[in-house]
Structure 1
Amino acid sequence: MISTTPGQASRRRKGPLGWLMAHQGVFFFPILLLEGLSLHASGVRRVLSREPLRRRPIEITFLAVRTIGYLLLVFLVLSPGIAFAFLGVQLGLFGVYMGMVFAPNHKGMPLVPRETKGDFLRRQVLMSRNIRGGRLLDTVMGGLNYQIEHHLFPSMPRPHLRAASGMISAYCREKGVTYTQTGLWESYGIVVRYINRVGLGERDPFECPLLQQRQSV
């Protein structure tokens, strides 16, 4: 229901869905209530798909134990009506929380055409956004507020991302690579404005610095 690229928006421009996409900035956060259900469904589709997956039987076993065990526990402890209400509230809040953590990191950042080639540093830094904040924000966002560092060093333990950010931002300044940081609420404003622009049909919502660099050479 949400288009995050002009290509997605151009394929869905008719009828009620087209109207929703033209106003998707208004509906973005309410739609996150469904994100928790979507994430669970994606997990099930992934383990049951024909795509290569390491340790598929183990993944299916743990996913089944978690899902079935959780549902059994809820319905054993609560009456059916309250259990359904609890699951609805839990999935809704889970979706909003995860969406509000994920959304600020990339939405509204430059889009890289498939054919554009660039070095690893620029691809990871120019396409990601960090969220400024203190230790509390680090905990609430699980370290994903250091999205640039997370992309450059995906195996780095999250408690070390904060320390690494200072060194990486200094290195980026030295190399002339834009290192983007913003506040949390400011980032949500950027996200809403961006998806509104995409929904309204602007074909090129953000200039791609990699493409500009290539064309200027």
Structure 2
Amino acid sequence: MVESTVLVESQPMPAREKEREKGSDFSELSRRIADAGLLRRRPLYYTVRFGAVALALAGGVAAFVLLGDSWSQLFVAVALAVVFGQLGLAAHDLAHRQVFSRRRPSEAGGLLVADLLLGMSYGWWMNKHTRHHANPNHEEKDPDVSPDILVWSRGQASRARGLPRFVGKHQAALFFPLLTLEGLNLSFNSFKALGSRAVKRPVLEGTLLVAHFALYFGGLFTVLSPGKALVFLAVHQGLFGLYLGSVFAPNHKGMPMIEEGMRLDFLRRQVLTSRNVRGGVLVDAFMGGLNYQIEHHLFPSMPTPALGRAQTITEAYCAELGVPYHQTGLLASHREALRHMRSVGEPLRAAR
């Protein structure tokens, strides 16, 4: 683990590296990855995976209708929270063109999965996520570390006012409870973004979002009594948000932050700010391949089943260059993230 959570300046490069042209380190890695055939599309894999998620969704909806006005629906709520999490991962892969190499089918699939099935704007999320990939953990340019409610560096903590200042004092303890609101937060920001430039097709996306919630709330309050519908909503959306947050939080939280003016080449910018999560087949399925976050950031369009092989090549190459490569277990990754959150909130607690 890198001791400091803020990168202040680049480390001096050995003479051999100084002789390399800018970007050549990544070019060499890219050549090795391409030679291994890891950038080819995997249509059979995605057909099976997306087919399984579609069947699970259909089964969940059928169980919901058949059970009727029963408290047993809470088991359906739990199951559908997992299905929605997998739909979110599917939308992510579509946005990165891991499934289709062409833009139009990728966009059509993304609109269907994100807007209609999840109630999240594909255009808004893709715009935000693209900016994150370009500058991960950059205090000024990465929207995922903007201090909306939580603070991610001591600099942000010192400038925090209002709600971020209040929450930042105890953000490590509040982090997982706040994640239960993430699903609703994504939907709220999706509607909010319809009037911005981030959404290129506001009418189409707005229509799909309204259709999603008409079906979602219509189904809930038609089949269930108001009380049961509200409890179902809380369980389903809460666990869905917790699932998404548990997948995305280990990837960068607690890794070094990049300050304005700092110069890093593409390979180091992506590797130093990302964390891989070990765990085998179960973790791969739970995180949808995002546990190979370093490789995903270096090669965003690489299909999920190729990431494991790419990890071996990338780790060995980073060792050749002397570039730190961080990988840990799932629970340890959350501990590191929470430890970082508690550390950056220390000035706020001390000020109190």
TM-score interval, normalised by the smaller of the two chains:
0.7 to 0.9
Q: For 1:51, what is the secondary structure of its paired residue?
A: coil
- Give 1:19 deviation, angstroms: 4.9
Q: Which whole-Å CA distance do the structure 2 matches of 1:5 and 1:98 have between them?
A: 23
| Counterpart Cα distance in 1 of 2:219 and 2:284 | 31
Of 206, 221, 236 in structure 2, the residue corresponding to residue 60 of structure 1 is 206
CA deviation vs aligned residue, 1:190-210 (integer Å, no higher than 9, x gap): 1111001111129xxxxxxxx
Aligned-residue offset at 1:13: 5.8
Q: Choose which of 177, 181, 189 in structure 2 pairs with 1:34.
A: 181
Whichever of the two has the greater Rg, that structure is 2
Quote the offset at 1:96 in angstroms.
1.0
Aligned to 1:129: 275
| Pair 1:45 & 2:175 matched | no
CA displacement 1:75-110 (0-9 Å, x = unmatched): 222122111110111111111111111111101111
2:322 is matched with which residue? 176
Instruction: Supply the distance in 2 between the matched residues of 1:13 and 1:200 (Cα, whole angstroms).
Output: 15
More RCO (CA 8 Å, sep 6+): 1
The gaps in structure 2 that reach 5 residues or longer are 1-148
Measured in 2, the distance between the counterparts of 1:68 and 1:159 equals 36
CA RMSD of aligned residues (A): 1.9
Deviations 1:34-64 (A, max 9, x none): 1221121122222x13224333333223222
Looking at structure 2, the residues matched to 143 and 61 of structure 1 have their Cα atoms a distance apart, in angstroms, of: 31
Q: Does residue 9 of the first structure (1) align with residue 153 of the second (2)?
A: no
TM-score normalised per structure 2: 0.54
Q: Distance in 1 between matches of 2:204 and 2:299?
A: 27
Distance 1:64 1:175 in 2: 51
Matched with 1:118 is: 264
- Structure 1 residues not aligned, in runs of 5+: 203-217
Q: Quick check: 163-172 or 119-128, which moved more?
A: 163-172
Task: Name the SS for the 1:201 alignment partner.
Answer: helix
CA distance in 1, matches of 2:229, 2:286: 27
Deviating beyond 4 angstroms after TM superposition, the runs of 4 or more aligned structure 1 residues are none
Q: How many angstroms apart in 1 are the aligned matches of 2:325 and 2:203?
A: 41
For the 8 Å contact 2:254–2:336, the answer to whether it is kept is yes
Question: How many residues get paired?
Answer: 200
Normalization by structure 1: what TM-score? 0.85
Equivalent position to 1:160, from 306, 311, 334: 306
What corresponds to 1:212 in structure 2?
Answer: none
Between the aligned partners of 2:315 and 2:164, the Cα distance in structure 1 is: 41
| Structure 2 equivalent of residue 71 of structure 1 | 217
Q: Cα gap change, 1:139/1:84 in structure 2, threshold over 3 Å: closer, same or farther?
A: same
Match of 1:22 among 169, 177, 181: 169
* Partner of residue 103, structure 2: none
Other structure's SS at 2:279 match: coil
Quick one: structure 1 residues 52 and 188, their matched pair in 2 at CA, closer, same or farther if it must change by over 3 Å? closer
Aligned with 1:82 (options 216, 228, 231) = 228
Q: Which moved more, 1:17-26 or 1:151-160?
A: 17-26
After superposition, the Cα gap between the structure-2 partners of 1:78 and 1:21, relative to the gap in structure 1 and judged at 3 Å, is: same
